[in-house]
Amino acid sequence: MSTESIFQTHLILGYVAWLLCFGAYILPWVKSMDRVKAHRAIATLHSFRFFGLVFLLPGVVGPTLPASFATFATFAAYGDLAAGLLAMLALVTVRIRPVFWLFVVAFNLVGMGDLILDYYHAIQAGLPAQAGELGVAYAIPIIYVPLLMISHVFAFYLLLRPQPKAIQAVTGEAAVS
């Protein structure tokens, strides 16, 4: 099996495994929460996106990656950092609801946009064929990125889903959203 085929298989199975886990364990748990708590849980996960800066550390990824990887890695690392910082800002502003919701939307837009652009840049750089050169960072696109993407999709679902009037009245969401 080629490196590219193994990488693509790992990537697909990463999504399958996280979707199964998400459906069985995470989705019922998050759906039992109110909107604020659910978005706080998602923001907490995304606050660890500073980890993407690992792509900038010399020696973490192999030296034989194409020169275009350096540009891709820099973009991916700082995109992750931006999404992580926005998620942290959402967490620290939870008591100021309008600002909290602004940061929730911002980290989800920046974070999902970053992941989509990272996929595009990785394909353009031919990364799947040289995935073994990622070294220990190989786990990021296989294990971590699928969970991040799935949680972004769910966050947008929560943001766009209409709230029942009874819940809005009890939580006061209509007045502060």
Enumerate long-range contacts of 139-146, CB under 8 Å, 24 or more apart.
Answer: 140/51, 140/52, 140/54, 140/55, 141/11, 141/14, 142/7, 142/10, 142/11, 142/14, 143/14, 144/51, 145/14, 145/115, 145/118, 146/11, 146/14, 146/15, 146/17, 146/18
Q: Would you kindly state where each structural domain of the chain is located, as residue ranges?
A: 3-54+67-172
pLDDT class of 87 with cuts at 50, 70, 90: very high
Q: What is the reported pTM?
A: 0.88
- The tens digit of pLDDT for each residue in 22-47 reads 999 999 999 899 999 999 999 999 99
Percent of the chain with pLDDT over 90: 71
Which pLDDT belongs to residue 59? 79
How many whole angstroms separate alpha carbon 61 and alpha carbon 63?
A: 7
- The tens digit of pLDDT for each residue in 37-86 reads 999 999 999 999 999 999 888 878 877 777 778 888 899 999 999 999 99
CA angle 64, 68, 74 (to 5 degrees): 100
- The tens digit of pLDDT for each residue in 106-135 reads 999 999 999 999 999 999 888 899 888 888
Which pLDDT belongs to residue 177? 47
pLDDT class of 162 with cuts at 50, 70, 90: confident
